Amino acid sequence: MTHRPVHHKSRGALTNTASRFAATHAEDFDDGWNTLADEVEAAGEQAPPTRLHRDPTRRVIARNDSPDVPFSASINPYKGCAHGCIYCFARPTHEYLDHSAGRDFETELYYKPEAATLLADELRHRVYTCEPITLGANTDPYQPDDRRLAITREILETAEAFNQPVSIITKGAHVTRDLDILTRMARRNLVSVFVSVTSLDGAIKRTLEPRAASPRQRLNTIAELARAGVPTGALVAPIIPMITDHEIEHLVAQAAGAGATRANYVLLRLPHSVKTLFREWLDTHYPDRAAHVMSLINQMRGGADYDSAWGTRMTGTGTYAELIAKRFRLACRQHGLNQHRFALDTTQFAPPPAPGDQMGLGF
């Protein structure tokens, strides 16, 4: 169902349009009784609650063959994300679950309580060949509900037991809850962490990423991880023209000052329904520059809101995209970032005995 945009301070999406796969669609209209405005106002008084659903998945390691990402194996402990980032490229995946990519993506969350057990089974499978696994490739492994569910910690415990290398991408500050495991794995070159930092402006963050950690918390997270010896980088993502692109140099400087040794960036991506959600967000929060923002996005996407072509979907094309890339490279060079890659060690992989396995006699 389509609704008029309503802003809740704890949610990023302003509407909850039905999945593009839904058989029927509906939208609000004024029936002549002049009650629509009152109904919209009343609906805006209560923020939609978060509902958790058990995910019945039988496998947890996902595979991809994209040349745009530096990994082929990943795990997402959750589907949907309560951080509510309006720009999240994963929003359209919720439509496969018959949910909206809008507010449903932030409130109808699926969790995988058996993820660690399933991971152990897959790591023990006779055809498994060890390679680094990324946590957080689609949705954040350290989103708010993980504080209580701790599924990500259980996955890390399994990874540590198998000497399975893991790379983490997150904007959740409670990654430091697992610092004990991360520190031990880092000593054996089995883990790296990238903290996503989109903006250092709290006012931008409050509507752009309403339930994510504050900019200061994320910089502190980088510092705490770096002090513990965990290889740590910053992911400046997404860069949004006329909203966050003026911060590129400052973001890189602050991340480097906190202890990051690598940095990367992703240009704003607007696949499928994300483009509509983002336009609603722009029109509501930045009406003075909405047209200019979209004009620059179109210039970097071949005249469209989005171009999914491999090789350019992360960075865009055209003069403005080239300028962003150059600015980012220069900032990283100035602060000594990206001099070494995080090359995790796969040679230590060794499945521990499974329950019930017969132990050797030791003769």
pLDDT for res 28: 44
Q: Is residue 101 within 8 Å of residue 86, measured between CB atoms?
A: no
Residue 345: count other Cβ atoms within 10 Å of its Cβ.
13
pLDDT for res 20: 66
289 vs 200, 208, 329, CA distance in Å? Answer: 20, 15, 27
**Rounded-to-integer distance, Cα 333 and Cα 339, Å:** 9
- Which pair of tokens denotes residue 258? 């906190």
User: Could you check whether the bond before residue 238 is cis, i.e. omega within 30 degrees of 0?
Assistant: yes
The distance of Cα 203 from the centroid of its chain, to the nearest Å, equals 20
The distance of Cα 210 from the centroid of its chain, to the nearest Å, equals 14
- Which pair of tokens denotes residue 309? 């072509």
Beta bridge partners, 62, equal: 74
Strand order across the 51-54 sheet: 51-54, 108-111, 78-79
**Rounded-to-integer distance, Cα 215 and Cα 195, Å:** 11
Q: What is the 3-state secondary structure (H, E, C) of 232-264?
A: EEEEEEEECCCCCHHHHHHHHHHHHHHCCCEEE
Distant-in-sequence, close-in-space partners of 129: CB < 8 Å, separation ≥ 6:
none
Stated pTM of the model = 0.90
Show the beta-strand stretches assigned E in 76-151: 78-79, 108-111, 133-135
189 vs 114, 231, 335, 352, CA distance in Å? Answer: 26, 9, 24, 19
| First and final C-alpha spacing in the chain | 70
- Write out residues in the chain with pLDDT < 50, as ranges: 1-2, 24-26, 28-31, 34-37, 39-40, 42-44, 361-363
**Rounded-to-integer distance, Cα 220 and Cα 265, Å:** 20
pLDDT for res 47: 73
Q: Is residue 14 within 8 Å of residue 280, measured between CB atoms?
A: yes
- Which pair of tokens denotes residue 197? 């930092």
Beta bridge partners, 235, equal: 196, 264
Nearest CA to 241 among 216, 260, 265, 211? 265
pLDDT for res 303: 97
**Rounded-to-integer distance, Cα 338 and Cα 335, Å:** 9
**Rounded-to-integer distance, Cα 103 and Cα 17, Å:** 8
Burial class (CB within 10 angstroms; exposed 0-12, middle 13-18, buried 19+) of 347: exposed
Distant-in-sequence, close-in-space partners of 302: CB < 8 Å, separation ≥ 6:
317, 318
Distant-in-sequence, close-in-space partners of 50: CB < 8 Å, separation ≥ 6:
82, 106, 107, 109, 145
Concatenate the DSSP letters of all residues of 139-183 into one string.
S-TT-TTHHHH-HHHHHHHHHHHHT--EEEEE--GGGGGGHHHHH
pLDDT for res 1: 44
pLDDT for res 40: 46
What domains sit in the chain, N to C, each tagged with a CATH number? 48-334 (3.20.20.70)
How are beta strands 108-111 and 51-54 bridged, if at all?
parallel
**Rounded-to-integer distance, Cα 80 and Cα 78, Å:** 6
Distant-in-sequence, close-in-space partners of 249: CB < 8 Å, separation ≥ 6:
327, 331
- Which pair of tokens denotes residue 88? 């999240």
